[in-house]
Chains A and B, each alone.
Chain A
């Protein structure tokens, strides 16, 4: 019974074969993606749907082909009468299909699949039929005003050199749908002024199209502002193109306050402010001098020790009290000595022995297992999030599930055992032939996955025995040729001074999250590498730029810009600097449990100290993850309640040995007292009107209480709560 039709089918297939060959790779797989068969809720689910599983969004065509061919004993195809194949009758709903109607009978897609079955369901040649690259037209979209539309054309180039228009099958998405809206699959409509990125995907390949919608207002004339260094040249090149006029440099008082908070987390003292504002030296000279004074100062070291403590998750929850202090001291010494960033990273990753003798070993005590250690390491040092690839290939980024386990395998020989002292642990590496239970196994077929680098470097690094895997990894990671290592940290450091990265979020670098100014990021990266990973030098270059020093006051051309660094944007002081600023402005000594008196918030060892108080309310990271997103700088009602009525500000202004009390005892005149409080809180002199109003208030009642009221109001003002 079954033989006869098979013979007939051969002749029919021969007829079809005379037409253009149809292959799974080139022709059929894109249809399965387009009509939704491979989507997450359908057959792309981890366990498939109704016994039929395809890879999520078709990331594994070989798997999908085999599933179609061999599941159900191959009953999905009727080569004699292709139209009676389940492969067609199911999606055309000629037989019941849980997923509903997916292919109209006799539609173009239907015909292609019919044709393919008739030709004998060939897979195709991966060396010819796979997509080599995507080309898009236009490569860049610029609209002179909102309200216009543009059609995107997508062409796939296959490995055999052939090309095909795949506009209908490709997926086009906008990263900012309310600015650039996608209509009818591949048309983009400009909704408002600004910039967006279109993500175009087809068969595992991804490309992006930048969209710029210009401000149609007439009268834009580019007036070239002064450039202090290459940073501004590169920012200005972009600004001129997108019709944005940057703000001029901020005045000295604003600069002084901003640069102090950003580099050291501390406000300038009233004396420092007086001296700086009175200094008649040329602006650029005195600002450079002040930057040099701050970089490397004790407060600078405290501030960046806290920052690295966040990223490396230095917390007694994982490390115990003694371990935390040890790790923190190691970080602190690295920051204080301006240890080159690549060296610091190598020391962390290749640490060995007792966690008390080599505190860098604590890096491995936080995450403990190879997979989380790898995820943390890639997120912190490469800015890449590998976590999705644990369960499946990333549907359109280039990281595969295989790579996830290959990268984790670099840490699979890491062992920890108790040391001789309480809380001590010994970090060691298993030898070849030791218990291999930690070796990475691929979840699909349990095969052993040996370590392999995410990206091959220009100078190949040999992967040695298990005992030396971490050394090889560190060498590869910190190599100057690694395209991610320097770039990730340059972008991260940049974001600390502007509130947002050139790629943002800074720890989610991927092809579909492109930099807003690639030339700028490349230049910063090169600068860092050329200076042997000297982070202080990078910071100096950044804060010396006009872009960093520009005013927050906007003009009609840049008031809507929030991505191109055309003006400063006010940022709420983060938790520790805010608490320290309250103490310093009020002249109150910081008091935390378990640490010596006068230990500031930015000097605390870990989030255990002062837990659940002011600092946590204002978004201090709990160091539960290495994500930059743990630190929050929003404002909320509970925070406002605390500032208005909580003990932190109220107690500080009323401190019996505080700034107000001392000034009253010293018998300061009202105008002098007002000037002192303004300088202490806002790092500037009061205006004449401000001074007069404040003096009038002070003389209207009991002086000490009234001075406390004034200081309270200054500490609750926006000019205090924000760095701007």
Chain B
């Protein structure tokens, strides 16, 4: 019988539920991990620990919540107001004081102003994109750490494919072993999207589909059915195990078909499905009815707010990486809460976007802090870029309204918290018009490198792509200055 070294063995009552699960996933998925491989992995971990021994912030994080504000929130209106800038830049909103002395933010973020004592506000995110900077290309850059290699002249990318660089959550779900039978990587409430391109930059790419995020495709603010995550009443665990043994035999009797489907990850999915239904933990984590009405209301009675709440529950259950995408399509209609506000800016931000983001993000930070979860969980809230400080100019080829702001990756803001990240700190500063960093620029790759480092992963580590060519996990500098 298979056993993982260092884990408790059989009890006198026969195999435990957890044992059964382990047998299931390892046996079926063909993931027979020989001892020497495990020890190699352990040796590597030791080496990394040695390399960063004593370094500030290394290995502080156990998991990550990525609040990905697809569409590109206007940083000058939300996080980085410039009251002294000229009319065509300043905008309509007034700055308000925050818990960080000397740091003011936009007036429609009052709850976050009060919660900034728990976070570091980065005001010097900056990168220069490769080629056209449509949303999808920028999202790909942000989440994979690599610019897309194939931007067509029209700026439209291809749909996700097996040669793509993996998204951060996929790397993490592969590199950090799960201790609990939960979903390693969950994406809420729906995939990333620009026009018809769905999920680019948000999938496992060359790591293989087994590391794709679990996508719920349901609205957490509505009634969520999770029949796939809980074991049926008429199915005792032993019977499910027998069924899987039968299934294994049937598959093995057609070896040529197994070979033809080698790349399709069917076994990996079945292994994971087996583990998950036996434990029921993932289902409980996604059951928001277990929260009080007061808590649900505090997070905001809308898709985004309830997704953020669900992300906290998933992290509590042991999920490694939860990505909450802003629920509107990146280049959608700003009047329907897409962040891409180049055709209408102040009205939608004031009435739609900011109140939702303000309420939900502040709720998450306060709640996690109260529960002590910020010790080991890193929270990042960021978009694929900010928006141009000057109004009514076209930076991406879009047509804009006079008050609209267009794509601006050269300088924008991010909120980072937890896992030893500074509390109540502003990091970096933008120039007088919030259009380029005045000091301490942070490239998105630097932020990714810092996140991996916080999780105890060496950002310089070598990965192998679909052609088995060596690549770096991410080409970025660790921003140790972000850690307290």
Contacts and interface: CB of A to CB of B under 8 A. Distances in A.
Interface of A: 39-41, 44-48, 56-57, 177-178, 191-192, 388, 394-396, 552-554, 569-570, 572, 612, 616-617, 625, 627, 629, 634-647, 650, 654, 687, 689-690, 693-694, 697, 705, 709-710, 712-714, 716-719, 721-722, 724
Contact of B394 (A46, A625, A629, A719): A46
24 contacts: A40-B155, A47-B393, A191-B467, A388-B154, A569-B260, A572-B264, A634-B209, A635-B266, A635-B269, A638-B214, A638-B228, A641-B276, A644-B270, A645-B231, A645-B235, A709-B242, A713-B246, A713-B249, A716-B243, A717-B250, A718-B251, A718-B261, A719-B251, A721-B266
B347 interface: no
A709 B243 contact: yes
Nearest to B155: A40
Contact of A625 (B156, B196, B232): B196
Contact of A697 (B218, B246, B270): B246
B261 A722 contact: yes
B256 A552 contact: yes
Contacts of A178: 163, 466-467
Contact of B269 (A394, A640, A710, A719): A640
Interface in B220-256: 227-232, 234-235, 239-240, 242-244, 246-247, 249-251, 253-254, 256
Nearest to B265: A635
Chain B binding site: helix, strand, loop or mixed by DSSP? loop
A81 B267 CA distance: 73
Given A394-B154, A713-B250, A717-B250, A46 B397 contact: yes
Contacts of A640: 266, 269-270, 272-273
A102 to B, nearest CB: 16
Given A45-B397, A647-B227, A552 B266 contact: no
B77 interface: no
Contact of B277 (A394, A644, A722): A644
B399 A47 contact: yes
A690 B253 contact: yes
Interface in B314-331: none
A45 B227 contact: no
Contacts of B402: none
B167 to A, nearest CB: 15
A612 B270 CA distance: 22
A712 B266 contact: no
Given A388-B154, A644-B273, A553 B399 contact: no
A637 B204 CA distance: 13
B35 interface: no
B131 interface: yes
Contacts of B399: 46-47
Contacts of A722: 257, 261
Given A46-B399, A395-B153, A554-B260, A641 B273 contact: yes
Of listed A47, A178, A693, residue having the most chain B CB within 10 A: A47
Given A40-B397, A640-B273, A57 B253 contact: no
Interface in B90-144: 129, 131-133
A177 B132 CA distance: 19
A718 B258 contact: yes
Nearest to B246: A713
Nearest to A714: B250
Contacts of B260: 552-554, 569-570, 724
A714 B248 CA distance: 10
Interface of B: 129, 131-133, 149-150, 153-156, 159, 163, 183, 196, 209-210, 212, 214-218, 227-232, 234-235, 239-240, 242-244, 246-247, 249-251, 253-254, 256-258, 260-261, 264-266, 269-270, 272-274, 276-277, 393-399, 466-467
A634 B397 CA distance: 34
Contacts of B132: 40-41
| Interface pairs A-B: 4 shortest CB-CB | A641-B228, A47-B394, A640-B269, A713-B246
Contacts of B276: 641
Given A627-B196, A635-B266, A640-B270, A645 B153 contact: no
B136 to A, nearest CB: 14
B17 to A, nearest CB: 15
Contacts, number: 163
A710 to B, nearest CB: 6
Contacts of A646: 227-228
Contacts of B253: 687, 689-690
B254 A718 contact: yes
B120 to A, nearest CB: 31
Contacts of A388: 154, 156
Given A641-B276, A709-B243, A718-B258, A45 B149 contact: no
Contact of A570 (B231, B250, B257, B269): B257
Nearest to B184: A637
B247 A716 contact: yes
A235 to B, nearest CB: 19
B227 to A, nearest CB: 6
Contact of B209 (A41, A635, A710): A635
A493 B295 CA distance: 54
A208 to B, nearest CB: 15
Contacts of A177: 149-150
Nearest to B130: A41
A600 to B, nearest CB: 22
A192 B467 contact: yes
Contacts of A612: 218
Contact of B217 (A554, A638, A690): A638
Contacts of A689: 253
Nearest to A719: B254
A635 B250 contact: no
B273 to A, nearest CB: 4
Instruction: Point out which of B212, B253, B273 has the most chain A C-beta atoms below 10 A from its C-beta.
Output: B273
A47 B397 contact: yes
Given A57-B153, A635-B265, A646-B227, A552 B257 contact: yes
Contacts of B396: 41, 45
A641 B229 contact: yes
Given A570-B257, A612-B218, A616-B217, 12 more contacts: A40-B131, A47-B399, A177-B150, A192-B467, A634-B209, A635-B265, A637-B183, A639-B269, A642-B227, A644-B240, A645-B230, A709-B242
Nearest to B278: A645
A109 B23 CA distance: 68
Nearest to B465: A178
Given A41-B131, A41-B133, A388-B154, A645 B232 contact: yes
A724 B155 CA distance: 37
Nearest to A394: B154
Contacts of B273: 637, 640-641, 643-645
B250 A56 contact: no
Contacts of B397: 40, 44-47, 56
B270 A709 contact: no
B104 to A, nearest CB: 30
B347 to A, nearest CB: 23
A714 B153 CA distance: 48
B2 to A, nearest CB: 20
A175 to B, nearest CB: 9
